[in-house]
C-alpha cells in the first residue's frame, strides 16, 4: 500500500478551538446575537459561504484586497443595522480572535507528522489576524496565508500554489479543514480530503492514510 507524503491543514477550527464555540464566546462578550452576525455574513457570502455576491468584503479581506480597519467598519455597520445598537469597529477582529485558543492535540499531531518525515503545510484564509509564529515554529515546511498571496480557499489556484511549494502532487497529500466546501475543492483537485470535526476522528484517519501511529 502506498501512503501519503504531504499533510496540509487549515488554522481556524482545526489548529484552534472550533469556530462555533469561539464565535459564541465572542458574541457573548460583545453582546451580539450570533444569528444576526450570521445574517450579515450570509448577505455577503451567500448561503453556502462560497458564492460571490455583488459586494463581498469577506472575500476581499481574505485576498488582502482591503485593509482590516475598512472591513471592521463595514462589519460594525452591518451589525449595527441588524442589532439596532452601535457596535464599535475599532479592534473588532482582534477582539474576535482573542476567543480562539490553540488545539494542542492537533498541534502535537502535526509536529509528530513532520518529525516522521511527512511534508506539512498551513493553508489559511486570513481575516487580517496574526498567527502564533512561536507556536508554529518548526511545524510547517510551507505556510500559505490567503491575504499574503492574493488567493483564498476554495479557489483551485491556492491549493495548486500550496502543492507547488510543497513539491508534491495532489494525490500524495491530504487536506484538513473544518469547512466542507474547502475540503470538496481540495478533493476536486485530486487531494485526499478530511473534514475535521473532532480530534479523535481526524487523527484516526490520518494514522490510516500515512501508515504511522501519529495520534
pLDDT at 123: 98
Between CA 70 and CA 120 the distance in angstroms is 33
CATH topology for 19-97 is DNA polymerase; domain 1 (1.10.150)
pLDDT at 109: 97
Between CA 105 and CA 41 the distance in angstroms is 30
* Distant-in-sequence, close-in-space partners of 196: CB < 8 Å, separation ≥ 6: 10, 13, 14, 176, 177, 178, 202
CATH of 6-16+102-210, one of 3.90.800.10, 3.30.70.3340, 2.130.10.10, 3.40.50.1000: 3.40.50.1000
pLDDT at 168: 98
pLDDT at 55: 52
Task: List the strands of the sheet with 192-195, edge to edge.
Answer: 142-145, 119-124, 6-9, 173-177, 192-195
- Mean pLDDT per segment of 10 residues, for the chain of length 215 residues? 93 91 84 84 64 67 93 90 90 88 94 97 92 83 96 97 98 97 98 98 98 95
Over residues 150-191, the pLDDT tens digits come to 999 999 999 999 999 999 999 999 999 999 999 999 999 999
- Asked if 206 and 192 count as a contact pair (C-beta separation under 8 A), the reply is no
pLDDT at 99: 87
Boundaries of every domain in the chain: 6-16+102-210, 19-97
Measured between its terminal Cα atoms, the distance across the chain in Å is: 20
**Angle between helices 156-166 and 180-189 in degrees, nearest 10:** 60
Q: Pick the closest to residue 145 from 203, 61, 25 (CA basis).
A: 61
Amino acid at each position: 500500500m502506498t501512503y501519503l507524503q504531504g499533510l496540509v491543514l487549515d488554522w481556524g477550527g482545526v489548529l484552534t478551538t472550533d469556530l462555533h464555540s469561539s464565535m459564541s464566546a465572542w458574541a457573548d462578550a460583545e453582546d451580539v446575537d450570533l444569528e444576526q452576525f450570521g445574517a450579515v455574513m450570509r448577505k455577503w457570502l451567500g448561503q453556502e459561504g462560497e458564492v460571490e455576491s455583488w459586494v463581498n468584503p469577506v472575500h476581499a479581506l481574505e485576498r488582502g484586497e482591503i485593509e482590516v480597519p475598512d472591513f471592521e467598519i463595514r462589519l460594525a455597520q452591518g451589525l449595527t443595522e441588524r442589532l439596532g445598537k452601535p457596535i464599535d469597529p475599532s479592534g473588532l477582529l482582534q477582539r474576535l480572535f482573542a476567543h480562539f485558543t490553540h488545539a494542542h492535540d492537533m498541534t502535537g499531531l502535526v509536529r509528530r507528522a513532520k518529525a516522521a518525515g511527512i511534508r506539512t503545510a498551513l493553508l489559511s484564509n486570513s481575516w487580517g489576524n496574526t498567527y502564533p509564529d512561536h507556536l508554529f515554529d518548526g511545524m510547517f515546511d510551507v505556510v500559505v496565508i490567503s491575504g499574503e498571496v492574493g488567493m483564498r480557499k476554495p479557489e483551485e489556484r491556492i491549493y495548486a500554489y500550496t502543492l507547488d511549494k510543497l513539491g508534491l502532487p495532489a494525490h500524495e497529500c491530504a487536506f484538513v479543514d473544518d469547512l466542507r466546501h474547502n475540503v470538496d475543492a481540495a478533493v476536486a483537485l485530486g487531494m485526499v480530503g478530511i473534514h475535521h470535526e473532532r480530534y479523535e476522528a481526524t487523527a484516526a484517519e490520518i494514522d490510516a492514510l500515512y501508515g504511522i501511529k501519529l495520534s
